[in-house]
Amino acid sequence: MLTLGVNIDHVATIRQARRTVEPDPVAAAVLAELAGADGITVHLREDRRHIQDRDVHILRQTVRTHLNLEMAPTEEMVKIALDIKPDYVTLVPEKREEVTTEGGIDIVSNFARFSEVVRKLQAADIPVSWFIDAEKAQIEAAAKTNAKFIELHTGQYAEAKDEASRQQELAILTKGTEQAIDNGLRVNAGHGLTYWNVYPVACIPGMEELNIGHTIISRAVLVGMERAVREMKLAMKGEF
């Protein structure tokens, strides 16, 4: 069954705009779970622009579904993950100047170093997912690191300007999912998914979890977190 991981980073973005204590992403996670979220995702960035260490520590104790920690494959982050023990880690590329994660990570060019990161995390029973573009070489490299999952980057699909290019990007994601499964990987996807574009991705055979943040938090600001999550669950079933 396809599951929804709700990314609550932008609740923390609002809080950090004033460097105050509200709104609390921990409260947002509780409401998201009550509304049917299957998992909670947070990205602890090197510059701590939204989620803080404190959030991840408390979420580890309060999340009742599963906690997916997105992070860069750095020594600092590996140390934090080994301490917190999220249910799984998604390794992402990170540039300080970017507004959001801009593309998949390049495993091929960093294979030895990245394999060691996977080894360390999985030795501590933390399954690893690689956030990658749906490219054969990256998928095969992900499998060779022994990671359990990949998360396919859906950014190009989300940004497609017309129906023909959207279909083309969807076909790339579908083929990537197939290749990943053939390589023994489990497949998630995310980035840029919205209430209006999520359904075709939700229909990709073998897709396990969609990690969705911006569109849900944007809606939650207007209609409340629970309704926003419930409506996304409907959108994933093509019923929105």
- Give the interface with ligand PXP as residue ranges (CB under 6 A): 7, 9, 43, 70, 90, 92, 100-101, 131, 151, 190-193, 211-215
| Cβ at position 202, least distance to ligand PXP in Å | 14
Q: Which whole-number Å values give the CA distances from 181 to 48, 74, 143, in the listed order?
A: 34, 27, 10
**What SS3 class is residue 40?**
strand
d(CA 133, CA 122): 22
| 139 Rama class: left (phi>0) / alpha (psi -120 to 50) / beta | alpha
| 70 has catalytic annotation | yes
By C-beta, is 143 or 198 nearer to ligand PXP? 198
Closer residue to ligand PXP, CB minimum distance, 101 or 174: 101
- 195 close to 240: Cβ distance less than 8 angstroms: yes
Nearest to 81 by CA among 72, 40, 115: 72
CA distances from 151 to 15, 116, 154, 172, 223 (A): 28, 19, 9, 14, 29
Active-site residue (options: 10, 43, 50, 153): 43
| Closest alpha carbon to 26 in 43, 44, 45, 40 | 40
Name residue, tokens 């809080």. 15
* Closest separation in Å from C-beta 116 to ligand PXP: 21
User: Which entry of 10, 33, 50, 70 is annotated as an active-site residue?
Assistant: 70
The SS3 call for residue 145 is coil
Per the annotation, the verdict on 75 as an active-site residue is no
Q: Shortest distance, CB of residue 209 to ligand PXP, whole angstroms?
A: 10
Q: C-beta of 75: minimal distance to ligand PXP in Å? A: 20
Q: Which DSSP state fits 36?
A: T
**Residue in 50, 191, 209, 231 annotated catalytic:** 191
Closest CB 94 distance from ligand PXP, rounded Å? 9
Q: Identify whether the C-beta of residue 10 lies closer than 8 Å to the C-beta of residue 217.
A: yes
Nearer to ligand PXP, 30 or 105 (CB): 105
Q: Which of 199, 206, 204 is nearest to 233 (CA)?
A: 199
Does the annotation mark 191 as catalytic?
yes
Residues marked active site are found at: 43, 70, 191
